[in-house]
Amino acid sequence: MTSKFLRVLLAVVVTFTFSALAQTGSAATPSAAPASPAASNAATAPGPITGTKVGAINIEGAIFGSNEGQRDVAALQKKFEPKQNELKSQNDELDGLKKQLSTQQDKLNEDALANLKKQIESKQKLFDRAVQDAQEEFGTQQQEIGSRILNKIAPLIVSYARDNGFGMIIDTSKPWPQGPVLLAGEAMDITKPVVDAYNAQSGVPAPAAGAAKPAAPKPGATTPKPATPKPAETPKQK
């Protein structure tokens, strides 16, 4: 793992997000479990979806673009700062040992050289495992945030579609070919009005001006399923 990766560990791990969540609680699915009576009423109010327009929404963008999503992910990143600093210290120590090996291997006797290599190998294994554990823990907690917000925002998507003549809403979180949507024009996108409606419903204020926003999920990210999160892949060491 490079120092560059460590500096952006928390930002990168944000990409291990919610494509699977988007499928299980997609825009056109009124069966997503609401988290409050208000959300339930929005999804089950009289009036079937009979429109003929086709709309698009970036579910990942809606979740993490909402005020609540930004607030909660920023708090999660703050929570993991000590772990990030710990990993950086371990990485710096490894870099120092590897530099020592590179510059002194011709000067060390056989026993000293073998001991240094063994030390590097042992610390590398511990470091790799610590990185994997941190990624898994961060990803699990981030999925919990996404699941909670998704359950509340899904009924709003249904309500918006019903009230605005949409008969189908497609999820554009993943670009083609990772996702099924080849092309969706901006005029079809309903992400912003849905996020605006959710922000008004949640009552969570927008991030303070000048505050660093948490990294948004990148399209095409591989996502573990909510019920059975898989370990995130550890980048190869350089």
Average pLDDT over residues 173-201: 91
**What do you get for the CA distance between the two ends of the chain, in Å?**
6
Tokens 């460590």 — which residue? 6
pLDDT tens-digit readout, 9-30: 333 333 333 333 333 333 333 3
For the record, the structure tokens of 84 come out as 């990030």
Q: Cα–Cα distance between 210 and 229 in angstroms, integer?
A: 34
Instruction: Determine which of 159-163, 175-179, 213-217 has the lowest per-residue pLDDT on average.
Output: 213-217
Q: Cα–Cα distance between 221 and 39 in angstroms, integer?
A: 28
Which pTM was predicted? 0.66
Exposed, middle or buried by CB within 10 Å (0-12, 13-18, 19+), for 179? middle
Mapped onto helix, strand or coil, the DSSP state of residue 43 is helix
Q: State residue 45 phi and psi, 5-degree precision.
A: -60, 150
pLDDT tens-digit readout, 87-139: 999 999 999 999 999 999 889 999 999 999 999 999 999 999 999 999 999 99
Q: Cα–Cα distance between 56 and 129 in angstroms, integer?
A: 40
pLDDT tens-digit readout, 28-45: 333 333 344 444 444 445
Tokens 């928390």 — which residue? 10
DSSP letters, 167-210, are: EEEEE-SS-TTTSS-S---GGGB-HHHHHHHHHHHH-PPPPPTT
Average pLDDT over residues 207-217: 65
| Cβ atoms 146, 223 nearer than 8 A | no
